[in-house]
Structure formats: C-alpha cells, structure tokens
Chains A and B, each alone.
Chain A
Amino acid sequence: MNSNDFLTMFLNAQIWLVVKLFVILALLIYLIFAIVIIRQVDLMTKAINFSLDGILKIIAVIHFVGAIVIFLVALIVL
C-alpha cells in the first residue's frame, strides 16, 4: 500500500465519521421533537377530552421510546 492509498482510505473513513456525527445530531434533535409531541398531546387533551386521549398519549410515548432506541442503535451500529 503506497502513501496515496493510505491517505484515500483515511479520508474515506473520516467522511463516514462526519456523516455519523450528523446522523447522531439529527437524531438528538428528533428526540427533542418527540418530547414536544408528548407535550403537545398533553396540551391538546387538557383543552378537549375525547375518548381516544389515552391511546394518543400512549402512541406519543411509544414514539418517544422508539426515537431513543433508534438513537442508541445509531450510536452502536454506525
């Protein structure tokens, strides 16, 4: 392996590291968004009570837990 090949391989690895950081950052922002959705559902159900309120709150929490799981998977897999 000459020095050029080594440099190319190194730069290639660095690019994917940068992409990984961006993905992690995006997923962190998404986690905040998932928290906002929980807050939003809470706010809405306080304003008006419907029969589906409980189910919607559960879906919002499941969505948040899913976002955490995907964030952790991204940390491990990428």
Chain B
Amino acid sequence: MPDVYVAPQAKLPIRVDNLTLNPIGLNFETRDDTEEVVLLLRRHVITNIPWIIIAIIMLFAPLVLSFFPLLSFLPLRFQFMATIIWYLLTTAFIFENFLSWYFNVYLVTNERIIDYDFFNLLYKNTSDAELNKIQDINVQMGGLSQTLFNYGTVLIETAGEIPNLEFDLVPNPAYVVKVIRELEDQIPPGGNL
C-alpha cells in the first residue's frame, strides 16, 4: 500500500484499491474556497455485482422467450411492443442503479467529512462533520465478500448534536481511517486548517 496522505499540496489523483486520493476536477455545492478534497469514496465496485447480474438476465430474457414462447397468446403487435418496453425498463433499471452508486459518495476534505446520499428519485440527504468534531471511528467488516475484497463500513461518531456518519461498504476501510486520523492530527488545536 502506498503512503497514506502526504500533504495537502499533493494534487495528483492516486487510485488506491477503488478509492481516489486527491481527486481532480471534483467540486461540490457547499465547498469553501480553501477546502481541498482529499479522499473520494463510493461503495466498493463489487457491491454492484447483484444488480449487474439482474441486468444481464433482463437483457437476455427476451431471447429466452424465443425458446419458450410464453407471450405467444398475444397478437404479434403486442409481442413486439412488450419486447421494446422490456428493454426500456431494463435501460432505466441499469441507469438508476448506476446513478445510485455513482452519486452516493463520501468526501473527506482537509476541513470536514461529507456524506452525500441520494435515495429513490428525488430525495437527497447531505451530512457533514468537521474533522475536529470527530470523536471515534469504527470499522465494521464481516462476511466472505468483505474479507475477500477488503471493504467495509466506517462509522464515524461525532461530538454533540451532529449526527454520526456512516461510510457504507467503502473499499479499504482501514486506509480511510488512517487518512482521516492523519488529517485530524494536522488540525491546529481549537480550529480547522
């Protein structure tokens, strides 16, 4: 594993086990002028496998129907439309799942940690906590898949009324904790960077 977090000046994006250190061109709506994104995290790529398998089955399902003509009772024009509508739904299924994975991100900046959640279609939830408010960080890893592919959940407990943050199924959780801890250490006493 490469050295964790060297310095805020290190601007080159580095890919470490499915997570991005110092991502370039990343901006978010609540960003301060002085704030730099250190770590960009998403759920591990492997967590997409279940919906990808379903999508592949959906893509090939009409071919199976050519061997088992379950829709043969329908007039030909309805069979044609059923196939087209099926592929439309498959496209939507794939696109929605990809969007859900792509935009549910966790950011670690040199000032705070941010959790972006997009649920269903139009519900958005953003939680953030300043680095100096972090009290405790726990890592939860369990099961064959998580052990094999080195991913898990990072639970970040914060002080006071600020809600606790949860980085779900992120790759290399131990490394994430190390980066956050190193950033915390760089904060001068009584304030942020």
Q: Which residues of A contact B (CB under 8 A)?
A: 16, 19, 23, 26-27, 30, 33-34, 36-37, 39-41, 43-44, 46-52, 56, 59-60, 63, 66-67, 70, 73-74, 77-78
**Chain A residue contacts of B27, Cβ below 8 A:** 48-49
Bound together, the chains give a CA A48 to CA B99 distance in angstroms of 12
**Chain B residue contacts of A78, Cβ below 8 A:** 77-78, 81
Residues of B5-52 whose CB lies within 8 A of A: 25-29
Interface size for B (C-beta < 8 A) is 27
Q: Is the CB of B122 within 8 A of A39?
A: yes
| The one of B29, B91, B121 that contacts A40, using a Cβ cutoff of 8 Å | B121
Closest Cβ–Cβ distance, residue B156 to chain A (whole Å): 19
Q: Is the CB of A60 within 8 A of B95?
A: yes
Q: Is the CB of A77 within 8 A of B116?
A: no
| The one of A33, A52, A74 that contacts B102, using a Cβ cutoff of 8 Å | A52
Closest Cβ–Cβ distance, residue B120 to chain A (whole Å): 9
Q: Is the CB of A37 within 8 A of B92?
A: yes
Q: Is B85 an interface residue (CB 8 A)?
A: yes
Q: Is B175 an interface residue (CB 8 A)?
A: no
